[in-house]
Homo-oligomer: A and B are copies of this chain.
Amino acid sequence: MGDTADGQSIAIIGLGLIGSSIGLALKRAAPRTRIVGLDRSPTSADTALRIGAVDRVTEHGSEAVQRSDVIIIATPIDTVVDVAGAIIPYVRDDAAVTDVGGTKERIVRECEPLLGGRFVGGHPMAGSERSGPSAARPDMFRHAPWLLTPTPATQSWALDRITGLVATLGARPSYISPAQHDRLQARLSALPHLLAFVLAAVGQQLDTNAAAHSGGSFRDATRVARSSPDVWAAILADNGANVVDALIDTEARLRSIREALNARNIDHVAELLREGHTPS
């Protein structure tokens, strides 16, 4: 399972929900770890420091990374590559770098030429419809899948170190190629978010007080429609081809069910539902 994180020096760049939750989880599981944090928002940095997600904060990327064994880039997906480029001069040769972006193919393709085999793409399958360090939780990653996307260029010591870090956080690390990750992400994360926004819109169209008239199925299915539309538009766009593919499949299935309903063919409707039936 590789190194454990305890005793290492860790830099967390980006102290939002995920970055701060990583800090809280690390401080709990590996108390000898030294964590330095960096965020372009002074308010977020202050909050992360106050809740104990980091030992100290800095405004300088150079200072954050030059003594670190592991550097975690936890910024939004459209800035990960810029951050990687900015820290290159200060990253030690024996430091491992990872990110937590919800898409992997482009990020890995652009980060590897910058950081080489020290970079390991990562994506925790955990989060919340809330955002910012004030929503951070030390148990955010407990038993959650954490997908790591090594390539033939990845150095084994770097992969071991990031795997050990993820395990220390309580998550379940597993390996997958960046391309396969993005195909899965389109269906298991992007699509449920997209459908939540669409379902909330369709429900509200008829009843602005939809929530008051609805039961658990609507409430659960629209929970993540509280997430930021801008953040999700960026994630969907960065994985555009796979999301379009998942949407074509989804629309075809909806059309089939609609046609069976129009034909009043209950048996065929049941058959189509059964394709997605998840036995308890």
Q: Which chain A residues have a beta carbon within 8 Å of chain B's beta carbons?
A: 124-130, 144-145, 147, 174, 183-184, 187-189, 191-207, 210-218, 220-226, 229-230, 232-234, 236-237, 240, 243-244, 246-251, 253-255, 257-258, 261-262, 264, 266-267, 269-280
Contacts and interface: CB of A to CB of B under 8 A. Distances in A.
A196 B276 contact: yes
A255 B174 CA distance: 34
B130 A202 contact: no
Given A187-B206, A217-B193, A258-B244, A264 B237 contact: yes
B197 A275 contact: yes
A277 B225 contact: yes
B257 A198 contact: yes
A127 B279 contact: no
Given A234-B266, A247-B258, A276 B214 contact: no
B276 A125 contact: no
Nearest to A267: B233
Given A196-B221, A273-B194, A273-B229, A202 B237 contact: no
B251 A194 contact: no
A274 B233 CA distance: 10
Contact of A214 (B145, B222, B224, B254): B145
B189 A214 contact: yes
Contacts of A236: 257, 261, 269
B129 A280 contact: yes
Contact of A264 (B240, B251, B274, B276): B240
A174 to B, nearest CB: 8
Nearest to A183: B206
B207 A189 contact: no
Contacts of A257: 194, 198, 236, 247
A199 B195 contact: yes
A202 to B, nearest CB: 5
A220 B220 contact: yes
A240 B243 CA distance: 29
B188 A214 contact: yes
B276 A204 contact: yes
Contacts of A195: 195, 199, 221
A218 to B, nearest CB: 5
